[in-house]
Homo-oligomer: A and B are copies of this chain.
């Protein structure tokens, strides 16, 4: 919100800019002001303040205050949460957690629920499931394997390009290949997806929208995160991929209902011996 105001400063008229300056200067104080008060302190008329509010997709001043309150509460560092060279650990920690929260927020508003439901259906119908991922997405694939293993369906994960191709080529109709890639442009991943499709299997891609991989896939769950690429490490996109898989696994668990409860109980029992008492 504040960032939005700041960026549209030059599209405002002179008086409205006065209002903007005041809001940017002491946003939290605005929350406890009436429109008359704000108008007075910013040295403009009340209607001007009102018009200012409307330019930021609020129906009026009270609504503007509401939106402002929300944005102030949600992300103190809404703005450039970029990690700077001079940051010490505390700042890095604060910025990364903020960014994580923001990313989840963005994911929440950007993902199409219908797609998720269709993805769950794919899982439920699958005779067997294979997860493909390389690099950072490799560990996501492995994690997914762990989670879906708990259902009574054969599930494998490959990080190895060669094994992926072999497995993909050997797939059949009714099988599901889940291909995970941050960039959506990793050649090996696109090829594996293509092989799987050609072999008659369904392909679920978890990747960026509108990429070579998403175009090959039967269904794509889009995970678009504006990554701070200078960090070279797709941290947030990987967190979001995991979150999406968590949703899917929970959805499948739901849909399957209780028929696999005994299966879970056995797994849990098997784990007991590996744990120490507290």
A139 within 8 A of B: yes
**Chain A at the B interface: SS class:** helix
Measured between beta carbons, the chain B residues less than 8 angstroms from A246 are 96, 233, 235
- Inter-chain CA distance A147–B97, complex, in Å, is 18
Task: Produce 1/0 per residue, A71-106, CB < 8 A to B.
Answer: 111100000000101011110111011001100110
Measured between beta carbons, the chain B residues less than 8 angstroms from A113 are 89-90, 93
Measured between beta carbons, the chain B residues less than 8 angstroms from A150 are 232-233
A125 within 8 A of B: no
Q: Copies of this chain, how many?
A: 2
Give, as a whole number of angstroms, the nearest-CB distance from A252 to chain B.
Answer: 10
- Inter-chain CA distance A14–B83, complex, in Å, is 51
Q: Looking at chain A, what size class is its interface with the partner chain?
A: 35 or more
Give, as a whole number of angstroms, the nearest-CB distance from A245 to chain B.
Answer: 9
- Inter-chain CA distance A5–B18, complex, in Å, is 39
CB pair B135–A139 under 8 Å, yes or no, is: no
Q: Interface segment, A36-44, A62-70, A168-176, A198-206?
A: A62-70
Known A101-B105, A113-B93, A185-B275; contact A142-B138, beta-carbon cutoff 8 A = yes
Contact of A66 among B69, B185, B211 (CB under 8 A): B69
By beta carbon, the residue of chain B nearest A183 is B275
CB pair B100–A104 under 8 Å, yes or no, is: yes
A217 within 8 A of B: no
Give, as a whole number of angstroms, the nearest-CB distance from A116 to chain B.
Answer: 5
CB pair B187–A276 under 8 Å, yes or no, is: yes
Query: Top 10 closest A-B pairs, CB basis?
Result: A70-B73, A139-B143, A73-B74, A73-B73, A139-B142, A97-B108, A139-B139, A69-B69, A235-B246, A185-B276
Measured between beta carbons, the chain B residues less than 8 angstroms from A269 are none
A278 within 8 A of B: yes
